[in-house]
Amino acid sequence: MIDDRGLTTRCVHAGETPDPTTGAHGVPLYQNVTYAFRSADHVEAMRAGEAPHFTYSPRGNPTARSLELKLADLEGAETSVAAASGMAAIAATLLTLVRGGGHIVASAELYEQTRDFLQCDLPQHGSSATLVDARDLAAVAAAIGPATRALYVEPFSNPALHVVNLPALGELARSREIPLIVDNTFLSPALLRPLEHGADLVLHSATKYLSGMGQTQGGFISGRRDLAEPVRETMLRLGGQMPPFAAWMLLAGVKTLPLRMERHSGNADRLARLLATDPAVAAVNYPGLETHPEHDVAARLVGVGPDRFGGMLSFTLRGGPPATRRFLNALEMCTIAVSLGDVATLVWPWAGRDLIRMSVGIEDAADLERDVRRGLAAADMPSRANALSEPTPAD
């Protein structure tokens, strides 16, 4: 049955009902590990599929199951699998797909631990990966070979915010009879549902926007049942299931997802436009800017408007590493920290790339602008000081 309610309503209600025993409003935290049966006949009925029943928390937990049902609803997926972290979801998915020596074609611009897993860990399992510019469909097509088991991309890439053409990649994957796997952590189902654009599986680090508070870890695999359920079995053997407490925390976080993503996006749009006009800034990477090279591709994916392009941006300063250092040290409200998707704004200098990544929070936009202007003034201090010291022409 298709849930035709609005996204915010589904974030609040999907997968949840009052507790049938106590009437508790909201899913309780089922922290226990094992579940009792009434009799031997009850066990046999469960094994025959006649009486579904939880048995052992790693194989299924009521709190985590409610969250899986909610995420499947939000993604429009046949099923969803909860994992202990984003990397647990990614690793279990890739190891399942390449079992027996398969090959993955992936975007060259990815979360660095994903890229390291593809390049360092897959070869140790007798498998391989080819990294290409996923914006170049010809390069992607040329990289697909007989052993290729999947395409793997991020719609808005980490950290440069490149944008890929998901429908075209989905069509290519279907023509080669391989699945398209999409890590949608940067956007969340509030802004983009990749299954509607040709993806077969969608992955998330739930630690980020799905949680929103930076206080719990988790991951998700959502999509076709024939692809996702084998991943669940791999994860069971690897011990990568989501703990009940994390699921309980995420159930609370997801309820406000659409409201938060609207504010994250609006704030990011304002900061991106501020940065784009400041003389201290060399370049801004934000798909919501009309000057972004893939702006039109991004707009076809997420829609049009300042509240649609997510809360992630990155930029470079004209003064290089010294300017980056001055910018960061001048910030008073924005936090210098890794991770993303928090309600607070997090800023991180990217190692070896002279790039600053910003996960824009939900603070008041005027306060964010004031803090960023403070950082930019400090970053550009030498050139502004030089301008002030130059002699004025005599009348």
User: In which domain, by residue range, is 16 found?
Assistant: 7-254
Domain boundary among 254, 274, 306: 254
Domain match, 199 and 333 both? no
Domain match, 181 and 60 both? yes
Domain boundary among 230, 254, 278: 254
Residue 395's pLDDT is: 43
Domain match, 342 and 238 both? no
Domain match, 243 and 340 both? no
Domain match, 147 and 54 both? yes
Residue 377's pLDDT is: 97
Domain match, 72 and 198 both? yes
Residue 385's pLDDT is: 55
Domain boundary among 231, 254, 277: 254
Choose among 160, 113, 97, 116: nearest CA to 134: 160
Choose among 108, 160, 184: nearest CA to 314: 160
Residue 352's pLDDT is: 83
C-alpha distance from residue 99 to each of 2, 103, 259, 278 (Å): 34, 9, 40, 50
118, 92 Cβ separation under 8 angstroms: no
Domain match, 87 and 214 both? yes
Q: From the CB of residue 279, how many other CB atoms can be counted at a distance below 10 Å? A: 11
Residue 205's pLDDT is: 98
Single-letter residue type at 232: R
Domain match, 170 and 30 both? yes
What H or E segment, with its residue span, contains residue 244?
Answer: helix 244-254
User: In this structure, what token pair is assigned to residue 289?
Assistant: 């800017």
Residue 3's pLDDT is: 75
Digits of tens for pLDDT over the chain (395 positions)? 567 899 999 999 999 999 888 998 999 999 999 999 999 999 999 999 999 999 999 899 999 999 999 999 999 999 999 999 999 999 999 999 999 999 999 999 999 999 999 999 999 999 999 999 999 999 999 999 999 999 999 999 999 999 999 999 999 999 999 999 999 999 999 999 999 999 999 999 999 999 999 999 999 999 999 999 999 999 999 999 999 999 999 999 999 999 999 999 999 999 999 999 999 999 999 999 999 999 999 999 999 999 999 999 999 999 999 999 999 999 999 999 999 999 999 999 998 888 999 999 999 999 999 999 999 999 987 766 565 455 555 54
Task: List beta partners, residue 80.
Answer: 222
CATH number of the CATH domain containing 365: 3.90.1150.10
The verdict on residue 215 lying in a domain is yes
The verdict on residue 340 lying in a domain is yes
Burial class (CB in 10 A: 0-12, 13-18, 19+), 55: middle
The verdict on residue 392 lying in a domain is no
The verdict on residue 388 lying in a domain is no
The verdict on residue 394 lying in a domain is no
Domain match, 305 and 225 both? no
Q: From the CB of residue 104, how many other CB atoms can be counted at a distance below 10 Å? A: 23
Domain match, 241 and 192 both? yes
Domain match, 138 and 286 both? no
Q: State the total domains in the chain.
A: 2
Domain match, 44 and 144 both? yes
- C-alpha–C-alpha distance, residues 227 and 242, integer Å: 19
CATH number of the CATH domain containing 37: 3.40.640.10
